Amino acid sequence: MIKTDKIIFYASLVALVSCIAPIIIWSQDSYQILLSLKVYIENVFGSTYQILTIVVLLFVLWLAFSKYGKIQLGEGQYQFDTFSWASMLFCAGVATGILYWGTIEWAYYYESPPFGIEPRSTLAIEYAATYGMFHWGIAGWAFYCLPAIALSYMYYVKHVPFLKISNSCRGLIGHHADGLPGQIIDVLFMVGLLGSTGTSMGLGIPMIAAGVESVFGFTDSFFLKVIVILFCATIVSISVYLGLARGIKRLSNFNTIAAFIFLTFVFIAGPTVYILKMSLNSFGLMIQDFVRMITWTDPLTDSRFVENWSIFYWSWWVAVGPFNGMFITKISKGRTIRQVILGTLFFGSMGCAIFYNILGNYALSLELSGEFITTQLIHLGKAASAISGVVGSLPGGHLTIFLFTLMSVVFMATTFDSTSYALALCATEKLEPDQEPARWQRLFWAFTLVILPLSLIYIGGLESLKLVVLISALPLVFVYIMMGVSLLINLRNHK
């Protein structure tokens, strides 16, 4: 019988309520307090995230090409074919964020570029088309690889039937993984996941609501956003009933196919030659400046580009990394360490690059030609409406917006599903490789996930969303260090 780990379950629930209650009760003051706290964390701990990003990327690349890369994670054939495996890890890993930022992130860099570049200049355009692809590239996806390998080794090779983040630290802390230290690690993971997923959904919900407003004429309101997120949660309940193989797998496969059909349509209907040229230019610029971009701390000016973007992204990857590592573990039985690392880095970063290069460069072309001015709407605080405007400029008008909104809903539902699955995994006492967490738990966490993003939307502001990620990710920096050391200890003793 599958049993719930009551300590982790209730401790995580208490932590979530403790975070949300003040936001709702003191909504007027919450935003300013959160903003001040965000700046403090960025100034004090910002470089910590940057150093961790470099270390984790180098570590997983070394691991993939070392002798340990040949270690098979579990016996037998693959549980899922490569297309389904790549689809699930990609959809779980990017959420609706790839649709949101992939369309408009360039606009922020165009107006406030890095390296002291003149805003709205030719060079600013080049970096605007490049920096998003860098933030969603291999440096970010490496944060999924470390927990995936650390967990998979314990779960499939050592046959320890606990799919919890504390189990990935067992090589370092030993039997304490089953005691209070392990429980603290698991609760930190649960809180970090709830916070980071809340941020992703906090961006995705307004985007979907703006699409519904454009197509059906409904007034964009807080009530509409509540309806949108409850609709997504309802889709998840159906997927939960179907299970991992029939639920998440089918949602992910559908989403991957739909996304690439849509991107092909944008590529053909848009300025194809321009998109090709900008994409190739962006790849070259990123490869040329990769070391500078990943190590740039902006020590001589106060542009806050690094704090507002790079540190935000690295903290987001840190916060969602253990969750995706856990999910990748569950779908990667039979693959080698090398296959998991290189597959995650390749499929993840290339998928994101395609989104950024096609959607982003299409939107950028509209800005430069004057057909649709994205930056103007962003200045007015209407980023979600800007996305609908970009999509609506494509042939098909409202039909295209409807299909894009539908795809966004499925992306969010996939995120709901995989996140609730990971939360239920961690709050389960013991789970064999062929077992799944209880359905009621997955349903419970799916609907619990609704609360935080709605709270953040209620108080408003992109900065409050970014802060939740910074706070929830900070304790997990130490967990990553423990995971890396633990994995090294286990691999050196591998027979």
pLDDT digits (tens, 9 = 90+) for 50-108: 999 999 999 999 999 999 999 999 887 888 889 889 988 888 788 778 888 999 999 99
Q: What does the alpha-carbon distance between residue 372 and residue 386 come to, in Å, rounded to a whole number?
A: 9
Torsion of the alpha carbons at 349, 352, 353 and 356, rounded to the nearest 10: -160
Res 414: pLDDT = 76
pLDDT digits (tens, 9 = 90+) for 375-402: 999 998 888 889 999 999 999 988 999 9
d(CA 304, CA 492): 42
Q: Name residues whose C-beta falls within 8 Å of residue 270's C-beta, 6 or more positions apart in sequence.
A: 358, 362, 365, 394
Q: Report pLDDT digits (tens) over 213-240.
A: 888 888 777 788 888 878 877 777 776 6
Model's pTM, two decimal places?
0.89
Among the listed residues 171, 85, 147, 145, the one whose alpha carbon sits nearest the alpha carbon of residue 425: 147
Q: Residue 289, Cα to own-chain centre: how many angstroms?
A: 24
* Closest by CA position to 456, among listed 445, 467, 446: 467
DSSP-based three-state secondary structure for 130:
helix
* Residue 28: pLDDT over 80: no
Residue 394 phi/psi, 5° resolution? -75, 160
**What is the arithmetic mean of pLDDT over 17-42?**
70
Average model confidence (pLDDT) across the chain: 86
- Tens-digit pLDDT profile for residues 135-162: 999 999 999 999 999 999 999 998 887 7
Is the CA virtual torsion 172, 139, 149, 65 positive or negative? Answer: negative
- Rounded to 5°, angle at Cα 262 from 216 and 376: 60
d(C-alpha 480, C-alpha 269), whole Å: 44
4 DSSP β-pair partners:
428
Above 70 in pLDDT, residue 459? no
Helix axis angle, 27-65 to 451-459, nearest 10° = 130
> What distance in Å separates the CA atoms of residue 267 and residue 276, rounded to the nearest whole number?
9
Q: Which has more pLDDT, 152 or 465?
A: 152
Would you call 121 helix, strand, or coil by DSSP? coil
Evaluate the CA torsion angle 421, 423, 428, 434 in order and state its sign: positive
pLDDT of residue 422: 79
Contact criterion met (CB below 8 Å) for 165 and 422? no
Report H helices in 26-166.
27-65, 82-94, 97-111, 122-135, 138-152
Residues whose CB falls within 8 Å of the CB of residue 404, separated by 6 or more in sequence, listed in order = 99, 211, 262, 391
**Cα 371 vs. chain centroid, distance in angstroms?**
31
- Across 289-309, average pLDDT: 91
Number of H helices, E strands in the chain: 21, 0
Structure letter (DSSP) for residue 271: -
336 DSSP β-pair partners: 72
Read off the tokens for 207.
Answer: 């985007």
What backbone phi and psi angles, to 5 degrees, belong to 445? Answer: -70, -30
Q: Report yes or no: 74 and 334 within 8 Å, Cβ to Cβ.
A: yes
3-state SS of 298-321 is CCCCCCCHHHHHHHHHHHHHHHHH
Residue 419 in this model has a pLDDT that exceeds 70: yes
Give the model's confidence band at 241: pLDDT under 50 very low, under 70 low, under 90 confident, else very high.
Answer: low
The CA-based angle 202-207-208, given to 5 degrees, is 100
- Residue 206 is predicted with a pLDDT of 81
Cβ-contact 49, 311 below 8 angstroms: yes
